[in-house]
Amino acid sequence: MRDLYINRELSLLEFHKRVLAQAQDPDVPLLERLRFLCISCTNLDEFFEIRVAGLKQRMEIGAPAQGPEKRPAEEVFDELRVGISGMVEQQYQLLNKELFPQLADAGVRFVHSDDWTTEQYEWLTRYFNEQVVPVLTPLTFDPSRPFPRILNKSLNFIVRLHGKDAFGRRRHRGMVQAPRSLPRVIPLPDSISKPGEHNFVFLSSIIRVHVESLFPGLDVDGCYQFRVTRNSNLYVDDEEVSDLVRALEGQLKASRYGAAVRIEIGHECPDDLREFLLDHFELSDDDAYMVDGPVNLNRLATVCDLDDRAELLYPPFTQGLPEELRSDKDIFSILDQKNVLLHHPYQSFAPVIDFLGAAATDPNVLAIKQTLYRTGAESPIVDHLVTAARSGKEVTVVIELMARFDEAANISLANRLQEAGAHVVYGLVGFKTHAKMTLVVRRNAGQLVRYMHLGTGNYHHATTSVYTDYGYLSSSKRLGEDVHKLFLQLTSLTRADDMTRMLASPFSLFDALHDKIRRETANAKAGKPARVIAKVNSLNEPQLIDAMYEASQAGVQIDLILRGICSLRPGVKGLSENIHVRSIVGRFLEHSRVYYFLNDGKEEFYCSSADLMYRNMFRRNESCFEIRQKAMKEQIRHDLELFLTDNCQTWILNGDGSYTRLSPGKNERIAAQDTFLENLASPKLVKD
């Protein structure tokens, strides 16, 4: 059984390696390579906080093997450790051997303390005394002064000390915690840099050089940075919780000090201090990563948007608009005539924001309903909802408080909306609301008309510039009826039945997808052409995988475009020879979810908020909507075929779980994301 499936955690780690490969690609602009390196480090942070933390918990309690492959947690952890160690080594080799030297040649320098000029040293000393010392709390510890609590992913320093303190007691160790209020990368002023250069210094270097001044009267014999990653899973009991907001707020506070799952330590740290830290955090050698550089590489992202270094960045572009939105007509008049399909980020997300803005101020709009999963702290979407509520419109917002790592922000926006007079409904505990829907009820010529936006991605205006997604604007009567039923399901918890244009989890989506795959299987067995294409983020639902295996054996051609996790093994003789899996990793994060079925020539196209994961099928509220307009179906078919011919940013999944990157070689270079930029967006003119 285990040979039929790829372990979820191991598959996800392979994705993180593909992101790191973008940082290693010399064809990617230099600062973008640095950005990809930072993203790979942030990805690893979350991987430890959630996936590795879960594995370690299962190991501690002796839980049985999980997942369709049934691999013991210990076995998975050991394999992960090998892969992660190699990845971390590559990260720091890339930074020290390639990116730092090449950036320095381009006039972007990270100045090592050994290379500080006298002027730079004097300026940094003043900076340390004026900006850093006032917020630092150097500590020593003994049996009466225990080791301080360490915040998740915070920057800290273990210090070796000699001598007696002011009270005559010998001190051997101290510690310095760097508050998160302090920037980790400090730009040096132009006055102490060469013309045209950008010079930066790490906060860790400044503290290390000046640490002795923090312990007057004691001798400092070493200062070494370290960073602890903690279990950040949130646990809310479905049966016992009576107030979700209060329970979640308590869990958020506790998660800052969850069980340690990883420690990163400067590679020069002596063995005895390393062992001391491991003992204190109850970690083993397998949980320690000795790094040659700053322990928090993701903070380097602050350098990746230098205004005067356009040549080191991707070329800027202006997001396009579909032709039907280029007129002076208001959005409701346009949607009365035709539906609109948007392809982000190549096409702008502004029409969606404008749609909400128009609804908020239009006197003919009676009600607005919306789901919010991730929106960002400063959201124009929320601003429009607040405006609508304050103007007396009926505003209902379904907010998913359990959106991972956005829980605090969602609690804050829920409070803001409630204060404005909106009806706020929290996602059902145990069934996250992941659907992306907006419904506007408007009086039009004496009739009530439903206008809606459905999407494959979040209502987060910032991520729409880097995530690829589809958005669909419509006033279709039948689709509006389905969206209305789904909102009733979310607010009153009554089941939405008899929908004609939509599918939804946890009730109808799985069965529909499963049946459609089996229908292709039956067509193939009957000698008819049969094909399935799915573009999603992840696939691990075992029943759908088994249905695809059966379809492949019947002769169905299956193409899967999966960015991240894939538990299916493609290309296995006698099992999955007709299944091909590719992952596209490029400038933008592939995020759209699309399902295609040949259906004996009566082609079906669906866009969805749902991936092909067990959780999306059975433990979430998801939306999936059919695309029926001929022109839109042709557009999506063209998009899918372009992804399937990409030979520049594509990785092919092998049957053993590894990936091989395609190269155009002597063939025509085809890069899907570049083609979309050329066809849907406009290059932005940049002044010399």
Q: Is 434 an annotated catalytic residue? A: yes
Beta strands (DSSP E) in 294-400 are 317-318, 340-344, 365-372, 394-399
Q: How does strand 432-433 pair with strand 437-444?
A: unpaired
Q: Residue 170 pairs with which residues in a beta bridge?
A: 164
Measured CA to CA, the distance from residue 454 to residue 439 in angstroms comes to: 9
Burial class (CB in 10 A: 0-12, 13-18, 19+), 194: exposed
Q: How does strand 502-505 pair with strand 394-399?
A: unpaired
Measured CA to CA, the distance from residue 377 to residue 432 in angstroms comes to: 20
Measured CA to CA, the distance from residue 564 to residue 651 in angstroms comes to: 11
CA torsion through residues 603, 607, 610, 611, sign: positive
Q: ω before 345 within 30° of 0 (cis)?
A: yes
Q: Residue 590 pairs with which residues in a beta bridge?
A: 468
Can you say how many angstroms the Cα of residue 273 is from the centroid of all Cα atoms in its chain? 35
Token pair in block for residue 550: 């059966």
Q: Output phi, psi for 220, to 5 deg.
A: -100, 125
Measured CA to CA, the distance from residue 207 to residue 222 in angstroms comes to: 12
Task: Give the long-range contacts of residues 474-477, CB within 8 A, separation 24 or more.
Answer: 474/335, 474/339, 474/340, 475/332, 475/335, 475/336, 475/339, 475/449, 475/450, 475/451, 476/339, 476/501, 477/450
The amino acid at residue 459 is: Y
Beta strands (DSSP E) in 59-172 are 108-110, 139-140, 155-162
Maximum CA pair distance of the chain? 90
Beta strands (DSSP E) in 47-197 are 108-110, 139-140, 155-162, 173-178, 185-187
Angle between helices 30-46 and 8-24 (to 10 degrees): 160
Token pair in block for residue 295: 């322990």
Place of tokens 């899967």: 560
CA torsion through residues 458, 460, 465, 467, sign: negative
Measured CA to CA, the distance from residue 265 to residue 82 in angstroms comes to: 18
Point out the catalytic residue in the list 434, 453, 460, 591.
434
Token pair in block for residue 631: 């022109």
CB burial of 117-134 (b: ≥16 within 10 Å; e: otherwise) equals eeebeebbeebbeeebee
Provide DSSP, 382-418: HHHHHHHHHTT-EEEEEE-TT-TT-HHHHHHHHHHHH
Which residues are identified as catalytic?
Answer: 434
